[in-house]
Chains A and B, each alone.
Chain A
Amino acid sequence: MSEQRITKWLENGYPMFKEHSGLPAYLLPERSFSSFVDQLGDNRILEISRPLNLDIEISSHAEKLTEADELQNKVWHEACLHWPLLVIVEPVIYSLLDACDRIVSQFDRGKLEVDPVIVCRNLMILAFAPFVPQGRPILEEIAAVLDSNHTYPAELITQFADAAVRGDFVAVTRVNDCISNHQQWIAWFGELQKQAISFPHNPRLIAITPPLSDGIADVLATMIKEGPNDRS
């Protein structure tokens, strides 16, 4: 995959995907996404998707990809319009961010009572499982444990985060047991973790780009002109 077709395809389609999913511009910005997938490259993307057997499908799809941007855009547009799961993208992401905020804050204060690695793994699986067919069984099992509905994945994430934050060992352990029964998901997270650890950058989740005014351009130009103060 020296041509990095998957990477380019994802980069091309991401703006359209964001637009259709209703995510605000500053959240998971396009630049961050581009640099993220660029750094990953086709091979790593396939490695991550291999445990869930998604790599074959992705590869075959990549083979069929055409070079023309216009055609790719059209394909993305069509896909976004007809993808039934698009509507849950936004709530799942918000739910995941909220959960991360609460758990990281508790972890920073040294008050998180459950194992952070387990919490992280379970959250990632809960966030990704709704978007692939292989995720349905695991979601159903977790929903049963949390006394919830698997068709509301955002709610599942929130409920799991609540349990982790309040130190509900029973709920967390039972969710973990469910996940442990699905080795392919364990392997998927292992691969994801491996790639994340080796990833050289920390992509921004939030990036605010204020509209450019003469004043801002002038200050930035002055900063470049004057250069950093090396004496300090």
Chain B
Amino acid sequence: MIDLDELIRSIKVSRSIPSEEDLRSLPYKKAFIYGRVSSQGQVRESHESIMEIARLLAIAMKDGYHTTLDTDEVESWLQSIQNGADVSRVLEESDVIIDCRDLGLSGSLGEDKRPGLHDLWERVAGGEIGAVYLTEGMSRLSRDRDRVLGYKLLKLLKEHKCRIRTPEGIYNPAIPRDWENLADDIEDSADEMKKLGIRLGRRRASKAAEGRHVGNPVSPGYIVTIEGQRRDGSYILGKWEPYPPHQETVIEVLTELVRQGSLHKAAQALNAKRVFFSFFPQTLKYMETRSALRQYLKDDMGYRITPYTLKGLATNPKLIGIWEWMDVLIENNHPGIVPKDLFLQAYDIATSKKPRGRAAYAEPMEWVGLLYCCNHDEPRQLSANNKRKQWACNYDYKMGRASRCLYVNDHILTTPLTSEFLSCLDLTPHAQAVMEKLRQEVNDHNFEESRNRRQEAELKSRIANLERYLGSGDAKREETYWRLINEARIELDTLQRKPASTTSASVDVERVAHFLENLEGNWQRYPSRLRNRLLTLLVNRVDLRHDQNSIEATIIWKAGFEQRVRIKRPTAHFTKESQWQPEEDKLLAMLWPSSSRETLAAALPARPWAAMNQRASRLKIRRRWEKKTPDLAHLWTEEEEKRLKELYTQGVSVKEIARKLGRSEQAIKSRASIISAPRPKGFYPRKIEPTWESENIKVMQESTSRSGRW
């Protein structure tokens, strides 16, 4: 029978912490011999380092791991790997696995790029491995400069009680002292890498300062010459040299950009003309990975040109021989491949921030800069989306706290504000002063001139815009553009020849008073930039407090008066019937990728095209990309335009016009927009109108303060 002392001793033994000796004991599970050197050169040349791996096998066997693998056999296997023979790089037999797949791979690479390390990771995590055999310390496993991978590995090994065996000894990360040693290894490796990085950086910098290739992508139009080959097989590269086939393409590309005046249009024209960078021939195969063209989109013919790559070319000073690396800037470092004038013109276009097209004529939205959202700790200015005609409070969104707290259509917000503001504004007492101002300007001969100047500027801008389209190479198109340019020029000429009218007689108080009295009625007909100027002069700000159903706006006048407008937000018709049903989603998912628009319209008759588009976007379904090339043969003639204008103005449906003119509906819409064909009044359904109530706060305040007296 067991006595009490024996019992206590046995409890103590069962509860005691295992000794360090126990924790380092081998054999334990399987042994994984991991071999890695940093470069292929080392694989070929560092015979000693490679043979260390075979010596690790001997150590493992000595540690008690059973395997039939023989050291000599492994040495000859390693020798064949060194000689570049096509042999399997993993040996596995009984308790021992030898993995040399990472020979020649840098320790700074992650486990996703090192198959050997990845396998080790998987096996350790799976509890299969008991000891990892390394020729040196942790530096074989990781040389991560950020130390992340090293510590992750160490933690993994600790969790699975895995030992690390080197010729120097056995370490177990679960033992604090061993952890410290191994962690020191990781730190040292990282420091080494950092120092190496600095050394390499210095070497690169000194090479770059001499204008020599330092490994950065070679610009299109150039190749980098091979000056020799190192013992490890890597190339010694020299300076950049022009590569004539690509040089011609670069010149053609930049010329097109200058002609079109727009990155987007130039890229479109180049694609239509099938201009691209050809592939490198076999003799220059090494350039495929060294040229910046590797970042370009590729197709069967070569590297394609996009607005993005076009911008890269037009803003790359290396094309005119300027070497640029960090803060190094050397002129005439290498031969330029583009005439400087052409490059500068292209550079101007590519870096121009001047708005073009519609944006050039966009005027600010009314009340811009005056609206503040007061649903936050401090009032936050609303952002105006001029294109969509919407207002948004982006504060929460920008701060990453929540979605936008306010997103509202312009007319819902500004129509009530403008209406209430104008209903209280009375500028008629200033008629005399305004008239004096005008009279003064008439005396300075600039009354009618101002209007003429504006019209002149508009016409000049139109002519300049049309001139940009010239040079497309298509005779019919050119003819149309020239016709439009001539019309605009005649108009401009007539305007410029117009004699200065004597208008002093027309400036009288009645006219000014009439203008001021009818300001409210004519408000919308004045340019929004002027309306906004006046608003900014009269209104301090508008504070908005809102919820889902209503917006309470307080217009604070500079004169001290306050108006409160309560706007009821119109609610959308999210009825059950109008929601997308699962079967509709299924149908859309099936048809959307490849079916025609007509098929989709027939399959989902209750859904307009825009709704389908939006739903498909939400469901993340894409339409199969169809390459559209401009149909140069199908240009609009004058007769067609005239007919289109006539039908469009009469209110004939787009579908019907498309049928009559034999064109697509989109073509009809686009052309109608270009020729400014109007629809008859009341053609479009009315927008959802806002409803609101107003309250003139100052009046109410005064009333309240006096109500006690009476």
- Chain A positions within 8 Å of B, measured between CB atoms, are 24, 26-27, 29, 31, 88, 90-91, 94-95, 97-98, 101, 105, 108-109, 152-155, 158, 204, 206-213, 215-230, 232
Contacts and interface: CB of A to CB of B under 8 A. Distances in A.
Given A209-B430, A212-B430, A218-B437, 16 more contacts: A31-B426, A88-B710, A91-B709, A91-B710, A95-B707, A153-B710, A206-B699, A208-B425, A210-B425, A212-B433, A219-B534, A220-B434, A221-B434, A222-B530, A224-B434, A226-B527
Q: Is the interface of A mostly helix, strand, loop or mixed?
A: helix
B87 interface: no
B710 A226 contact: no
B77 interface: no
Contact of A209 (B426, B454, B527, B530): B426
Contact of B438 (A105, A204, A224): A224
Contact of B699 (A97, A215, A221, A224): A97
Interface string B505-525: 000000110011000001011
Given A95-B703, A105-B693, A208-B425, A229 B527 contact: yes
State the 5 A-B residue pairs at the shortest beta-carbon distance, nearest first.
A207-B426, A228-B525, A94-B703, A154-B710, A91-B710
Given A98-B703, A219-B534, A225 B696 contact: no
Contact of B559 (A154, A211, A225, A227): A211
A94 B706 contact: yes
Given A94-B699, A216-B534, A225 B557 contact: no
Given A91-B707, A158-B707, A226-B527, A210 B559 contact: yes
B689 interface: no
Contact of A219 (B524, B533, B691): B533
Contact of A227 (B451, B693, B702, B707): B451
Contacts of B343: none
B424 A206 contact: yes
B568 to A, nearest CB: 9
A209 B429 contact: yes
B707 A210 contact: no
Interface in B379-422: none
Nearest to A99: B703
A154 B438 CA distance: 47
Contacts of A108: 691, 693
Nearest to A31: B428
B530 A206 contact: no
Contact of A204 (B423, B450, B511): B423
B526 A229 contact: yes
Given A216-B534, A226-B450, A226-B454, A208 B710 contact: no
A223 B515 contact: yes
Nearest to B451: A226
Given A225-B438, A225-B450, A216 B537 contact: yes
Given A208-B424, A228-B525, A232-B524, A219 B530 contact: yes
Nearest to B561: A208
B112 to A, nearest CB: 60
A152 B561 contact: no
B442 to A, nearest CB: 10
Given A206-B699, A213-B537, A219-B534, A225 B447 contact: yes
A217 B434 contact: yes
B119 interface: no
Contacts of B693: 105, 108-109
Given A97-B699, A108-B693, A216 B538 contact: yes
A224 B530 CA distance: 11
A223 B699 contact: no
A206 B425 CA distance: 8
Given A224-B434, A225-B441, A232-B525, A208 B530 contact: no
B558 interface: yes
B427 interface: yes
17 contacts: A24-B702, A90-B706, A97-B703, A98-B700, A108-B691, A108-B693, A206-B696, A207-B424, A207-B425, A208-B424, A212-B430, A213-B537, A217-B437, A219-B537, A220-B437, A225-B438, A226-B526
B515 A224 contact: yes
Contacts of A224: 434, 438, 511-512, 515
A155 B429 contact: no
Instruction: Select the residue from A101, A108, A224, A229 with max chain B CB neighbours within 10 A.
Output: A224
A202 to B, nearest CB: 10
A221 B437 CA distance: 7
B92 interface: no
A31 B707 contact: no
A220 B426 contact: no
B695 interface: yes
A152 B530 contact: no
Interface in B675-710: 691, 693, 695-696, 698-700, 702-703, 706-707, 709-710
B198 to A, nearest CB: 60
Contacts of B434: 217, 220-221, 224
Contacts of B524: 232
A8 to B, nearest CB: 20
B706 A31 contact: no
A76 to B, nearest CB: 21
Interface residues of B, number: 48
A139 B429 CA distance: 39
Interface in B87-146: none
Contact of A228 (B426, B429, B526, B700): B526
Contacts of A24: 698, 702
A220 B430 contact: yes
Given A90-B706, A95-B707, A208-B425, A220 B534 contact: yes
Contacts of B454: 226
Instruction: Select the residue from B454, B538, B702, B710 with max chain A CB neighbours within 10 A.
Output: B710
A229 to B, nearest CB: 5
A226 B458 CA distance: 13
A223 B426 contact: no
Instruction: Select the residue from B425, B434, B451 with max chain A CB neighbours within 10 A.
Output: B434
Contacts of B559: 208, 210-211
A158 B526 CA distance: 42
Instruction: Select the residue from A152, A211, A227, A230 with max chain B CB neighbours within 10 A.
Output: A227
Nearest to A206: B424
A217 B433 contact: yes
Contacts of A208: 424-426, 557, 559, 561
A98 B511 CA distance: 36
A31 B454 CA distance: 35
Nearest to B695: A101
Contact of B451 (A91, A225, A232): A225
B557 A220 contact: no
Contacts of A204: 423-424, 426
Contacts of B710: 88, 91, 95, 152-155
Contacts of A94: 699, 702-703, 706-707
Contacts of B703: 94-95, 97-98
Contact of A31 (B425, B429, B441, B526): B429
Contacts of A91: 706-707, 709-710
Nearest to A93: B703
Given A208-B425, A232-B525, A221 B441 contact: yes
Contacts of B558: 210
Nearest to B455: A226
A219 B696 CA distance: 26
A229 B538 CA distance: 22
A220 to B, nearest CB: 5
Contacts of A209: 426-430
Nearest to A151: B710
A208 B561 CA distance: 8
A215 B430 CA distance: 13
